[in-house]
Structure 1
Amino acid sequence: MVLVDSGNFHNILQSHLAKHLHLNIEPTQSFSIMVGNRDNVIYNNCCLAVPLTFPTHTFTLPFYLLPNEGLGIVLGIAWLSSIGPYEQIFYS
C-alpha cells in the first residue's frame, strides 16, 4: 500500500520491505518524528536510490526506513517535488 502524504517531507519505506527487496540499506544520522498516533519513531537507516515504477515512469528515490509495521510506502514532498510544482494545502 502506498500513501502520498504532502504533510511529510521524506519518503518512507518499511524496513522489512527493504530487506525483502534486497535494497542497499545504509546507516544515517538518527532523528525522531512524531507520527499520527503521537508516538515518536526513530529513523536511523535509509536506502538512497530505490527505483519506483509507475505505469509510464520510473523514479529513483531516497527512502528512510520505518522500523515498525504500517503502510508499506509513504511518498512525501521529496517525491511530489520531483514530478513538478505542487501547492501544499493546510486544513484546520
Structure 2
Amino acid sequence: MGQQTMQVVGMLGGRPIQILIDSGSTHNFLSAGLTHKLGMLVEDMPIVSVRVANGEQLPCSKVIRNFTLKMQGYVFGTDVFLIPLESYDLILGIQWLASLGDIL
C-alpha cells in the first residue's frame, strides 16, 4: 500500500469487506469470487482495458451497475467492474473518487 492508497472496512450485505481506496486505479473493482458467492446481478459489457493498483493493465468484460455499499457510516452507490482480486474485496479508484467532488 503506497501514498496514493487508503485501506478501510466496509459492509456489503451485512458482511464486512476489505476496501482499498486507490487513486492509481482507473475504475472501481469488485472481487469476482465475492460476487459469485453473494449471487449478485452481473452484466456483460464490451471489453475495456483497466489499470489496477499495481499499475497492471487488465481486460474487463463484466460490470455491476449501481453497486451499493456502506463505508464509514455512509452509503455509496457506484458501478464496479469484476476482476480477480486477492488481497481486497473492493477497490475504489478514480471513478469513485471523482464522484465525491474536488479532492484537495
TM over 0.5: yes
Unmatched tracts of structure 1, length 5 or more: 88-92
Matched, 1:85 2:83: no
What is the TM-score with the length of structure 1 in the denominator? Answer: 0.76
Matched, 1:20 2:50: no
Superposed CA offset, 1:4-23 (max 9, x none): 11112210011111122221
Matched, 1:46 2:63: yes
Whether the 8 Å CA contact 1:11–1:76 is kept in 2: the answer is yes
Matched, 1:29 2:25: no
**Deviation of residue 37 (structure 1)?**
7.0
Q: For residue 24 of structure 2, what is the aligned residue in structure 1?
A: 7
Give secondary structure in 2 for the equivalent of 1:63. Answer: strand
Equivalents in 1 of 2:101, 2:24: separation in Å? 17
Whether the 8 Å CA contact 1:49–1:60 is kept in 2: the answer is yes
Aligned residues: 86
Structure with more contact order per residue of length (Cα contacts < 8 Å, sep ≥ 6): 1
Q: For residue 66 of structure 1, what is the aligned residue in structure 2?
A: 83
**Deviation of residue 71 (structure 1)?**
2.3
In structure 2, relative to structure 1, the CA distance for the partners of 1:5 and 1:27 (3 Å cut) is: same
What is the TM-score with the length of structure 2 in the denominator? Answer: 0.69
- Letter of the 2:84 partner, please give it: P
In structure 2, relative to structure 1, the CA distance for the partners of 1:68 and 1:81 (3 Å cut) is: closer
Structure with the bigger percentage of strand? 2
- Structure 1 segments of 4+ aligned residues over 4 angstroms from their partners: none
**Deviation of residue 67 (structure 1)?**
3.2
**Deviation of residue 64 (structure 1)?**
0.3
